A and B are shown apart, each in its own frame.
Chain A
Amino acid sequence: MTVLGQIKFLLDITRTRDIMRRYFVVNGFDGALTMLGLIIGFIVSESSDLSVIFSVCLGAAIALGMSGLSSAYISESAERQHALGKLEQAMISDLSESAYGDASRWVPLLIALVNGLAPLIISLLILLPIWLTIAGIALPVPPLYAAIMIALFLIFLLGVFLGSIAGVSWLRSGMQTLLIASLTVLLIYLFAGQ
């Protein structure tokens, strides 16, 4: 069995594929909204030093990634151990050497990776225009506004993804998440713009 096939098998027997998907969306959304909030905050406060903005946002992105990685690993390890113990009781046998034992070791790690990498990668994509400008590459749009556009686009894509899972209109679902992002921007302007 290929590595991908093995991963799919372990997720199937533990029925954790939907948990992984949920973590991806929830923490990816967290990452995108956090970056959007930070960048809007910098625009509102009229900060102009891009390297400072980049460092602050990168710090937040790494912290989000580490938080996602560690919290998911700790909680999922406990959940998998509990599920394994319950199954061992029902089977009246030791399952540590079976696929269930492998799953209790690997599934928490896989879920933690998804939970940690989703906000990190999404944040890095949003920060790309700022990094490119710092690196000396001229963009047709000011970097902070380009970053906002990427953030809104990624938030829209997360909505589209949720729509495809739920089997409802992808456009409606995408517009819903976009509306949440717009509300966030509005709230930041209302409270931080004073």
Chain B
Amino acid sequence: MVYVKRIVLDVLKPHQPNALEFSQTIASVGADYRVHLIVLEVDENTETIQIEVTGNTIDFEAVQSVINDLGGSLHSIDEVEVQSEPDSD
């Protein structure tokens, strides 16, 4: 089984929710998610951010879905770290 351990995403989002609320909501998707958010550029209505999510088994679809729910738009997946682990059964 291949697990996603780390992803770095380039996202365009409205000013609200702010960076803190945005990263907290993403972190709440998984039990052990760690989110590192950097605001790269601020425009009149939007801001470009880089989000790094780390965890044992990152559910990318769920992360993308919560970004869309918050009004964000995923521009690119900039970095990925995956690991293959033997199945437990």
Contact = CB atoms under 8 A, between A and B. Distances in A.
A100 B46 contact: no
Nearest to A15: B16
Nearest to B46: A90
B70 A98 contact: yes
Contacts of A100: 14, 71
A26 interface: no
Given A98-B69, A98-B71, A91 B17 contact: no
Contacts of B69: 97-99
A86 B43 CA distance: 13
B79 interface: no
B81 to A, nearest CB: 27
B44 A97 contact: no
B76 interface: no
A91 B68 contact: no
A87 interface: yes
A91 B43 CA distance: 11
B88 interface: no
A177 to B, nearest CB: 32
A91 B12 CA distance: 7
Contact of A12 (B12, B17, B43, B44): B17
Q: How large is the interface on A (under 10, 10 to 19, 20 to 34, 35 or more residues)?
A: 10 to 19
Interface residues of B, number: 14
A119 to B, nearest CB: 30
A90 B71 contact: no
A91 B71 contact: yes
Interface in B40-71: 43-46, 68-71
A3 B44 CA distance: 31
B26 to A, nearest CB: 14
Contacts of B71: 13, 87, 91, 95, 98-100
Interface of B: 12, 14, 16-17, 43-46, 68-73
25 contacts: A9-B17, A12-B16, A12-B17, A13-B14, A13-B17, A13-B71, A14-B16, A15-B16, A86-B45, A87-B14, A90-B14, A90-B44, A90-B45, A91-B14, A91-B45, A92-B73, A93-B73, A95-B71, A98-B68, A98-B70, A99-B17, A99-B69, A99-B70, A99-B71, A100-B71
